Copies of this chain bind each other. A is one copy, B any other.
Amino acid sequence: MDIQFLGTGAGMPAKTRNVTSIALRLLEERGAVWLFDCGEATQHQILHTTIKPRKIEKIFITHMHGDHIYGLPGLLGSRSFQAGEEKLEIYGPKGIAEYIESSLRLSRTYVNYPINIHEIEEGLIFEDSQFTVEAKLLEHGIPSYGYRIREKDTAGPLLVDDLQSIGVKPGPLYKKLKEGETVILEDGRILNGRDFLGPEKQGKIVTILGDTRICRKSEELAADADVLVHEATFGVADEALAYEYYHSTTSQAAKIAVRANVKKLILTHISARYQGNEADILLKEARDLFENTFVAADFSQYSI
C-alpha cells in the first residue's frame, strides 16, 4: 500500500504545486487505486505517474470547492478512452452528483463504463471483505469530510509444522482449520483451528482529511492511524488567518497527530505563499510537536 500525492497546493494551481488530489495505491491489495479529491489537471498529473485511469476504482471527494473537484469531468471522460469498462464508484458530499451529471451532459461526454455516485453522510460509507471506509464532517464552512480507511485484519497462517508434529497430515481438514473451524479427527481427537493459526496480520489505517480547522472529529478519524494526511494551509504565524478561512496550521495538524497517536503525519494543501525552502520551516514547525512528519510535494510517494 502506497500513498502518492498528485497535487499538494491550496486554492489555485501554482507552478510547483497543483491543486489537491491524492492516490491511495492498493495495487497489491486489490489491483486498484483510490483517489481522494480531483482538482483541475489531476489527469495531467497522472500522465507523469504509473497510475492507469482505468485502475481507479473509487474516487472520494472531501468537499465541493473547485480546487478539489474541477478535474473530475476530464478524468471521467479520459478514463473512457482506455481499454476496459470497469465500474467506478464516486463518494462525496451532496451536490457531487449534480456536478458530474451536468458537466458530462452539457459536454456530451458519454463514458463507456458504469459510474455509481454516492452522496454520503457521516458514518460507514463502504465495507467489503478487505476494507472499511468511515466518514466524518470536519470544520470548513461548507461540508468537508475526512475519511478513515481501515484495512481489515487478516487471519494468521496455518501452523503446518505444529499439525504435522501431532500427526495431522495435509488434506481437506487443513482448509477447515485455516478458517478457524473445530474439526473431529478419525481417531476421535477434537482440534480447534484457532489453536493452529499464527498471529493475525493487522490491517493498516489511513486517514485522509479534507480542508478543515483543527477539530475533534479529525482526532477521532485518525485514532492510531498508520498515516494521517492533514492539511496545513498556513504556518504557525498565520493561525488567525487559518481560523478565518477554515484551515489549519502546521502545528495544529501536528497536535492532531499527537492526540490521535498516529504513526506518521503527512502535510499537504500548502499555500502558494510558502515557496522553496519555506516548506522546510513548515516542516520544522510540525516536527517540533510530532517528529515523524513530512510535507508532501507533488508526486511524492510514501509506502504504508
Contact = CB atoms under 8 A, between A and B. Distances in A.
Contacts of A74: 13, 40, 66-67, 70
A95 interface: yes
Interface residues of A, number: 34
Contact of A11 (B69, B81, B106): B81
A15 B43 CA distance: 11
This protein's copies in its complex: 2
A250 to B, nearest CB: 23
A95 B102 CA distance: 10
Find the residue from A67, A70, A71, A78 having the highest chain B CB count within 10 A: A70
A193 interface: no
Contacts of A103: 66, 70, 99, 102-103
Interface string A33-52: 00000001101100110000
Contacts of A99: 102-103, 106-107
13 contacts: A11-B81, A13-B74, A40-B40, A40-B43, A40-B71, A41-B41, A41-B44, A64-B107, A64-B108, A98-B102, A99-B102, A99-B103, A102-B102
